[in-house]
Amino acid sequence: MPPLSPDAAIAALNWRYAVKKFDPTKKIPAGTWAALEQSLVLSPSSYGLQPWKFFVVDTPAVREQLLPHSWGQRQIVDADKLVVFALKTGMAPADADRLVARTVQLRGVPAEKLEGYRQMMAGSLSKTPPDQLDVWMSRQVFIALGVFLTTAAVLGVDACPMEGFVPEKYDEVLGLGAKGYAARVVATAGYRAADDHYAGLKKVRYEPGEVIERI
């Protein structure tokens, strides 16, 4: 038996929505949050390169500092959790070496057997112009966002993905640039407030026939 039935999966995805108002008193249980962090760790990426870091901002004062750089959206301070999805900047052949070293470590396979794989990845990373590399690698960060939001939904945790923030200011406040990262997107997570009237609104999606086409 699969973990969820089709009906249960769709019910979870229909239940989720971009929460506008979190209940600041409600906390995600530790085991549930650990699973959500693990969903980030397990997210797939091109070649498995994991060109990212997920900054979980727990310090209230720091979240207050981020608020004016987030169009004043209160989720930034009210949600139990705030995750800044950041790109690892300047991905380079050394990142292919790092991944191969990790593979050798975890799978016990000799490095020589992975040399062709390493060269292919390193070649892709060195041949791609920096701006295109940013485009390519940033997209991976958004896969992780989709994984996180879907995992939250099946765990019964509310969330709100947010692109309405000033990435450069986030980088500054959180010191991401110095660490070699750049904020790309944000997700808040917690539990919806009882009076978030967005919870009751019909989800706005185009007809399946408009977004799915069979060939």
Of residues 77-136, those binding a second copy (CB under 8 A): 99, 102-103, 106-107, 135-136
**Whether 121 contacts 47, CB under 8 Å:** yes
52 sits near a second copy (criterion: CB under 8 A): yes
Q: Is 212 left (phi over 0), alpha (psi -120 to 50) or beta?
A: beta
Q: What is the CA radius of gyration of the chain?
A: 19
34 sits near a second copy (criterion: CB under 8 A): yes
Give the whole-angstrom CA distance, residue 76 versus residue 184: 15
56 sits near a second copy (criterion: CB under 8 A): yes
Site size for a second copy (CB under 8 A)? 82
Q: What x/- string results for residues 171 through 190 when contact with a second copy is judged by CB under 8 A?
A: ---x---------xx-----
Element spanning 159, H or E? strand 158-162
41 sits near a second copy (criterion: CB under 8 A): yes
Q: Using CB under 8 A, which of 97, 117, 118, 143 touches a second copy?
A: 143
Stretch that binds a second copy, among 19-27, 72-80, 139-147, 189-197 (CB under 8 A): 139-147
Residue 68 vs 163, nearer CB to a second copy? 163
Helix (H, G, I), strand (E, B) or coil at 138: helix
Give the whole-angstrom CA distance, residue 48 versus residue 209: 33
Q: Using CB under 8 A, which of 68, 72, 130, 146 touches a second copy?
A: 146
18 sits near a second copy (criterion: CB under 8 A): yes
Q: Using CB under 8 A, which of 145, 182, 189, 193 touches a second copy?
A: 145
Count Cβ atoms below 10 Å from residue 80 Cβ, excluding itself.
Answer: 19
Q: Using CB under 8 A, which of 22, 75, 89, 161 touches a second copy?
A: 161
Residue 127 vs 205, nearer CB to a second copy? 205
φ, ψ at 57 (rounded to 5°): -90, 105
**Whether 173 contacts 65, CB under 8 Å:** yes
147 sits near a second copy (criterion: CB under 8 A): yes
Q: Which two tokens stand for residue 5?
A: 């039935």
